[in-house]
Amino acid sequence: MLHSTTIVSRSTTAVLSHLNRIKSQYATSPHTFLFALSVPTHSSELSSLVDTLMTFSPTSSLGCLSSPLVHGYISCSVALLDPRNATLFRSTIPGREQTQVGRWHAFRRKDDGEYNDFKLPEGNFDWEDLWKTTRTNTKQQMPDELTRLDTERVSSVLYLSDLSPEGLSSVLSNSFPKASQLGLLASSTPFITGRPVTLFHNQHILDKGAVGVALTSHKALKFHVPNDIRPLGSALEVTDSEGNLVNTLNLSNPTQLLLSRIRAAGIDTTSSNAITFKDDTEFYLGVLPHDSSTPYQLHAVTAGDPSRGTLSLNPQTMAPPVGTQVQFFHRPVMKTPSLGTWHESVRTLGGTVAFTALSSTEVIESGTDGEGEDGLSPSTAGGLVLENRFIVGSDTGVVMKRAGEHPWSCTVPGCISEL
C-alpha cells in the first residue's frame, strides 16, 4: 500500500485540506484509489467532498458512503494502492433478498439483461447446496476484470457491497479458494443521496451491486472481538442448525439454555419467558476454535423461542454447522464510540485496512465530546487523523472469509476485521 489515512473531523474545510495535500503528494504516482466517506445526515458539504474524492484517480477508483466512526463527525478514509498488486472490479452478481428475523429466504432476482446464466434457487435452501451449484461456469459469472487473474496469486479480495453480497462472496470463494475476503456492507443512504446505498466506481455512482479490488500482496485477515463482552456459561456443541437458525445445542433447547445462563448471571431482562432485552443489552453466540476461548466468529442473537427452542442469529449469515463448539456471550452496556475510542484502538491493530461493525443506534444517538469524555486534549478533540490506517464503519455489517471457512457476516458492534 502506497498510503492510507483515516480522517475524523467536524470541519469539511479541514478534511478537504488534508485530502488535497495527499492528492498533490501522489499526483504523479500511478495508484489505485479507495475511499469511504460518512457525513452528518443533514450536511450540505457532501458534494464538495465527493467531487474531491472522485478526482483523485478518475480511471482507477472505488468507494462508498459508510457509517460515521463517531456521531456528528465526518469520517473519511482513503487508501492508495500499487496498481501492480491491485485489480479493481465491479460486480452485479445478484444476492439474497433481505430476510425477516428467523427466516431463510430466497435470493433476489438478477438484474435484467445481466448475468442471465447465473441461476439462483427459489424458496428455502442450504448454503452447502448453493456452494456446490455455483462451482460450474464460475469464470462466466465472475466480473470480467477478475477472469484474467491467476487464481494462485490472489491473496485477498476487498469489496464494498449493497446489502446482498452472497452471490459475489460465493463466486469469489469458488474462483479464489485460497484468498481471504473482507467486505463492507455500505450504509443505507435513501435520506442522503436518494439511493438505497451509494457506491462509486471510477466516475460512476451506483446504487446496487459491489465494487472491489483483488490483491496479490499477502496479508493475514484477522478478527477482533470487543473487550467488553462477557462469557455466559461453558462451551456447548451445535447438534442441529439450518440457515441462520440454531435448533439444538447439546441436544437441548438452545433458548432455554441461554435463559438459564441469563438467570444464573443475574442479568435483568424485560421478560422471563422470551428473549426480549433492554435496548442497550446484547447477547451473542461465539464460535470457538479448538485451542482458544476467544471466539473467531461472533453472531448476534436476534430472537429466541423458549417453547420450540430455536435461536435466530443475524439473518445475513449462516448458523454454525453441527459439531461446532460455541459459547454464549453478553455485553452489559453498549458504549458509543468516541474519538478516544479510535485513538486507542489503532494501537492494537496490526493491519492497514480495518472494517468495523457499528450499531445502527450509534448513528443517531448523541456521541461524546470534550476532553473529559473523549480522553483527548482540546486541540485534538476537534478531530483525529490516523495515518497508515484505512478504517471504515458499517451499521449494516462486515463480511469476511478466512482459510477453511465460508463467508459470514458480522453485525456485532465493536468487532473489527483487519487486513
The yes-or-no verdict on residue 302 having pLDDT over 60 is yes
> Could you give the percent of the chain with pLDDT greater than 90?
62
Q: Tell whether 215 and 340 lie within a shared domain.
A: yes
| Cα 323 off chain centre by | 26
Output the pLDDT for position 199: 98
Per-residue pLDDT, averaged over 22-35, amounts to 94
Q: For residues 6 and 154, state if they share a domain.
A: yes
| 245 plus 374 within the same structural domain | no
| Side-chain-side CA neighbours of residue 383 (13 Å) | 16
Grid cell 462451551 is found at 235
Strand order across the beta sheet in which 353-357 lies: 222-224, 416-418, 353-357, 390-394
Average pLDDT in the 102-115 region? Answer: 38
Pair 105, 25 in one domain: yes
Q: Report pLDDT for 182.
A: 98
Say whether both 74 and 195 belong to one domain.
Answer: yes
In tens, the pLDDT along 127-145 reads 455 444 444 445 557 899 9
The domain boundary, picked from 313, 331, 349, lies at 331
What is residue 76's predicted lDDT score, i.e. its pLDDT? 97
* Phi and psi at residue 329, to the nearest 5°: -135, 160
Confidence of residue 41 (pLDDT cuts 50, 70, 90): low
Residues 138 and 102 in one domain: yes
Predicted pLDDT of residue 113: 40
Cα–Cα distances (Å) from 93 to 161, 174, 242, in that order, read 11, 14, 24
**Residue after which a domain boundary falls, among 331, 360, 391:** 331
Domain shared by 123 and 170, yes or no: yes
- Of 283, 304, 331, which residue constitutes the final position of a domain? 331
Summarised one tens digit per residue, pLDDT across range 394-413 is: 999 999 999 888 899 999 99
In this prediction, residue 338 has a pLDDT band, given cuts at 50, 70 and 90, of confident
Q: What is the DSSP letter of 96?
A: B
- Greatest mean pLDDT among 126-135, 146-155, 340-349, 361-370 lies in 146-155
Determine the straight-line distance between the first and last CA of the chain, rounded to whole angstroms. Answer: 11
For residue 109, the 8-state DSSP code is: P
Rounded to two decimals, what is the model's pTM? 0.84
Q: Are residues 165 and 245 in the same domain?
A: no
Asked whether residue 271 falls in the same domain as residue 129, the answer is: no
> For residue 199, how many C-alpha atoms fall within 13 Å in the half-sphere facing its CB?
23
The neighbour count for residue 129, using CB atoms within 10 Å, is 10
pLDDT attached to residue 102: 42
Average model confidence (pLDDT) for the chain? 83
The answer to whether residues 203 and 103 belong to one domain is yes
Question: Kindly report the CA angle at 145 between 66 and 75, in degrees rounded to 5?
Answer: 15
Which structural domain, as residue segments, surrounds residue 260?
230-331
pLDDT digits (tens, 9 = 90+) for 191-245: 889 999 999 999 999 999 999 999 998 889 999 999 889 999 999 999 999 999 9
Give all strands (DSSP E) within 226-268, no chain letters. 230-242, 245-249
The pLDDT score that the predictor gives to residue 290 is: 85
CA 312 to chain centre: 19
The residue that leads in pLDDT, 177 or 277, is 177
Does residue 147 share a domain with residue 56? yes
3-state secondary structure 26-79: CCCCCCEEEEEEECCCCCCCHHHHHHHHHCCCCCCEEEEECECCCCCCEEEEEE
Q: Give the chain's domain count.
A: 2
59-79 per-position pLDDT tens digit:
999 999 999 999 889 999 999
Picking from 10-14, 94-98, 183-187, 232-236, which range would have the lowest pLDDT averaged per residue?
94-98
- What's the pLDDT tens digit per position in 356-389? 999 875 443 434 443 333 434 333 346 899 999 9
- Length of the chain as a residue count: 419
Do 101 and 250 belong to one domain? no
